[in-house]
Structure 1
């Protein structure tokens, strides 16, 4: 037994299908536009020039400023970054983030005369030893982030954060 489609049902199905087709062709680019940055694979930051030669790095932490080319969705821009760079007791070049792990304030090396040879956060009196580890009993619960470093052609390059 076959069921016949009336003219009215045929017209309803045809117009509904056509409207759905047009709606999907209009919505697809909008949805794609909205979610495209999420689907893009992140361009991990490699090593960048730090503006120092190997001989300029001393055993006293010095604050340096350097630029990183970054991509955020479709936007490409230059991100300004800072790091404390020094040679540790073993002669290895270390680069530490100056951002306190407590509330994100900027730490200073020898920033408080009471705490010599330490990083000090003035926001809540957070303290870190020279190697970046937090002083027990002070607000920060984690050490400062450390960046990868390497030397190429006598110049210091700073890379991504070392994964702990």
Structure 2
């Protein structure tokens, strides 16, 4: 019989003794737990800082007066307007652009000039090959007067919400194009 088997035979009927924790194990567990608690205490504010903007409700863009309604025709025209932006502690007045015209029913609508292919700026009647169309000089994307994508771009131009009040055209939130199906 080897030493291990003889040792088991001697203690066969006895309850096994509970091993006590050594001082070294106690200190390791205590310091590890305290370190984990302090680490979690530092991580919670960082996680809240990262996640909090996602949990905040989205605010709609304010209405901005752009042009008199009488200046809007069935031919798209570019109009610039300023929007006040607050980004953290930085405030700025960004200048944006909209191509505003009337559709076949006489209703005013406004398109964002950012090409849906790679983000270049489109212009109306900028290329003689594509008469009466928006054209992107970067990669040849072109769109109808209502913003429908004809080539290269994967989606139509985005459209601003529009309202006409007291003879002026106001633009609001930017969203997907509603004129094109």
TM-score (norm 2): 0.70
For 1:134, the equivalent position in structure 2 comes to 149
Q: How does 1:108-147 map to 2 (within 5 A)?
A: 108-135=123-150, 138-147=151-160
For 1:65, the equivalent position in structure 2 comes to 80
For 1:115 and 1:19, the matched residues in 2 are separated by: 67
For 1:13, the equivalent position in structure 2 comes to 29
For 1:150, the equivalent position in structure 2 comes to 163
For 1:40 and 1:142, the matched residues in 2 are separated by: 29
For 1:55 and 1:123, the matched residues in 2 are separated by: 33
For 1:45, the equivalent position in structure 2 comes to 60
For 1:26 and 1:100, the matched residues in 2 are separated by: 43
TM-score (norm 1): 0.76
Q: CA RMSD in A?
A: 2.9
SS in 1 for 2:38: helix
SS in 2 for 1:91: coil
- The gaps in structure 1 that reach 5 residues or longer are none
Question: Offset at 1:161?
Answer: 1.5
For 1:90, the equivalent position in structure 2 comes to 105
- The gaps in structure 2 that reach 5 residues or longer are 1-16
**Aligned residues, how many?**
161
For 1:8 and 1:126, the matched residues in 2 are separated by: 71
SS in 2 for 1:59: coil
For 2:86 and 2:55, the matched residues in 1 are separated by: 10
Q: Deviations over 1:88-129 (max 9, x none)?
A: 221100101112223322211121234332222222333222
Q: Is the 8 A contact 2:69 2:169 kept in 1?
A: yes
For 1:69 and 1:132, the matched residues in 2 are separated by: 26
Residue 46 of structure 2 corresponds to residue 33 of structure 1: no
SS in 2 for 1:89: coil
